[in-house]
Amino acid sequence: MKKTVFITGATSGIGEATARAFADEGCNVIITGRRYERLRELKKEIEAEYEVEVVPLGFDIRDKHQCEAAVESLPEAFRHIDILVNNAGLAAGLEHIDEGDTNDWEAMIDTNIKGLLYITRLVAERMVLQGSGHIINIGSIAGTQPYESGSVYCASKHAVHALSQAMRIDLLSYGIRVTEIRPGMVETEFSLVRFHGDQERADNVYKGVTPLTGDDIAEAILWAAGQPAHVNINEIVIMPTQQANAYYTCRKPTDMQKNEK
């Protein structure tokens, strides 16, 4: 039987790449996000390319009732969820603690922590009844390495790190696996969202670096999910070669900068 994979935040970046990667492996996918038009397009593309079915669920993960209604609306054939990829998340703003926007803080806490918890609560309950399942949380290097001006984002990813470890213990006796994927710099819409649509500022984040791509992370997720049932990959930290950790990045001059010399 085809596996069913539930991926939050599949309208772009890592989530979208992960949906395509699982479909390529022959899995049916449930894809979620607020931008429903993108989900519809992705469903069309995936179903045209692979022999799988796609269920798009458009909702705001910050709203507990929307999460409940979305999971409740799943067709019968999609109610057995084999793999949950808790990916939806964001950074909003990059400011010192005395200057941060409290609306940004709320968006990060409500999405990265509370949203992840709402969906996990709903899906984990089913996995326990099934006696099987795999939860894959997208954390970050920010989950162990707090950096300047990133206090609340880093705190939210520290929470994902703690939750991943604790849910692994809670779900141990049911044979449910829990993996945390913790990437460094990945070029997606992440920085554009962080800088509230400022494309130039977003582009600067990746200047002189070959960052990871959504596909790189999807491959790591697929590898963790493809292990035999007795193997659990607790966590994967995955970095661009030019980034040692949250604090050290080796940037090469861009062609334009070379010409200026």
If one asks whether residue 4 binds ligand NDP (CB under 6 A), the answer comes out as no
Looking at residues 18 to 77 of the shown chain, list those that interact with ligand NDP (rule: CB under 6 A): 33-35, 60-62
| CB 189, min distance to ligand NDP, A | 3
SS3 84: strand
Q: Measured from the CB atom, is 77 or 148 closer to ligand NDP? A: 148
| CB 96, min distance to ligand 8X3, A | 15
Q: Measured from the CB atom, is 84 or 88 closer to ligand NDP? A: 88
Q: Measured from the CB atom, is 78 or 195 closer to ligand NDP? A: 195
- Residues at the site binding ligand 8X3, with contacts judged by CB under 6 A: 91, 140-142, 185, 246
Residue 11 touches which member of ligand NDP, ligand 8X3, none, C-beta under 5-8 Å by kind? ligand NDP
Residue 202 touches which member of ligand NDP, ligand 8X3, none, C-beta under 5-8 Å by kind? none
Q: Measured from the CB atom, is 164 or 173 closer to ligand NDP? A: 164
Could you tell me if 170 and 226 are in contact, meaning their C-beta atoms sit under 8 angstroms apart? Answer: no
Rounded to 5°, angle at Cα 117 from 184 and 159: 45
- Integer Cα distance of 127 and 232 in angstroms: 16
Q: Which positions ≥6 away from 65 have C-beta within 8 Å? A: none
Sign of the dihedral through C-alpha 69, 73, 76, 77: negative
Residue 7's identity, in one-letter code, is I
Could you tell me if 229 and 174 are in contact, meaning their C-beta atoms sit under 8 angstroms apart? Answer: no
To the nearest 5 percent, what fractions of the chain are helix, strand and coil? 45, 15, 40
Q: How many residues does the chain have?
A: 261
One symbol per residue from 199 to 218: x for binding ligand NDP (CB under 6 A), - otherwise; what is it?
Answer: ---------------x----
Residue 4's identity, in one-letter code, is T
| CB 207, min distance to ligand 8X3, A | 14
Could you tell me if 95 and 112 are in contact, meaning their C-beta atoms sit under 8 angstroms apart? Answer: no
If one asks whether residue 138 binds ligand NDP (CB under 6 A), the answer comes out as yes
Instruction: Point out the residue whose Cβ comes nearest to ligand 8X3.
Output: 140
- Integer Cα distance of 258 and 240 in angstroms: 22
If one asks whether residue 243 binds ligand NDP (CB under 6 A), the answer comes out as no
| Residues catalogued as catalytic | 153
- Integer Cα distance of 192 and 15 in angstroms: 16
If one asks whether residue 122 binds ligand NDP (CB under 6 A), the answer comes out as no
Which residues contact ligand NDP by CB under 6 A?
9-15, 33-35, 60-62, 87-90, 111, 138, 140, 183, 185-186, 188-190, 193, 214
